[in-house]
Copies of this chain bind each other. A is one copy, B any other.
């Protein structure tokens, strides 16, 4: 049994890491005014707007993507863009990243224009506490689904805002356009967070969570839009793939459609599960979607000591 390390009493909920993803911005602002909904026994929960200037302008960021800014170099540099300064402040308040004083859990609330439903993002396959939490949430919201995206990858490094915590958890809920608040998306996010906080309370009360397994989608490969020699996009996500996040994409399946109607097919070696399909914010990151592969992770038992 994993004897877990502490009281798990410091929990932060981040909204507005991207200033135009409205569910998290709205929920966090609501809870700053009245935190009753997020109070749990033995847990100190802090709702926090991470990028207030971007929220004010209703834009993803001001100078650079805050959710990629938490690199070691950034966290020690000076004379830097707004989001990097902000990353340093957040690291001081909720970290320092990798230290024993860091917050136990940070939830970072995001929306996507992709049809990803209510997705939990996990950064490490070895994080038994988070795996147990995700197992709990999946059971609690069944028969609705709650896919887990594992971003652990030998090459792709994200340096997210939530990475300053011991147990970072991303919530990515969609589809919702940037700058828009949809009641269905808002209520889905709110419900997942309720179950997550319930789990932390149960853990704090000393409940033992026995070993379990969690099905996840592990990030595999970034796929860019087809482009001409000047870098201009020459094809769109194919209508057969659009909105089909988490569904199998097999070799030979339609993937893109050029402006003159030609179909471009997937030519990988085996079945993958695309997600973040046609996400607005990823055009600038040269990413039409990301492929994932299914995997089952084992979580050891946990109990507060």
Residues of A within 8 A of B (CB): 26, 29-30, 58-59, 113, 175-184, 186, 232-233, 236-239, 242, 257, 259, 278-281, 283-284
Contact = CB atoms under 8 A, between A and B. Distances in A.
B236 A179 contact: no
A113 B284 CA distance: 20
A173 B59 CA distance: 23
B280 A236 contact: no
A181 B233 contact: yes
- As for how many copies of this chain the complex holds, the number is 2
A183 B281 contact: no
A279 B177 CA distance: 9
A181 B236 contact: yes
A178 B179 contact: yes
B239 A180 contact: no
B30 A184 contact: no
A15 to B, nearest CB: 14
A73 to B, nearest CB: 27
Contact of A236 (B29, B186, B232, B259): B186
B257 A183 contact: yes
A263 to B, nearest CB: 11
B113 A177 contact: yes
A179 B59 contact: no
Given A236-B186, A242-B184, A179 B280 contact: yes
A18 to B, nearest CB: 12
A148 to B, nearest CB: 24
A257 B182 CA distance: 10
Contacts of A176: 177
B239 A177 contact: no
A218 B31 CA distance: 40
A180 B284 CA distance: 11
A175 B242 CA distance: 13
Contacts of A177: 113, 175-178, 180, 280
A281 B113 contact: no
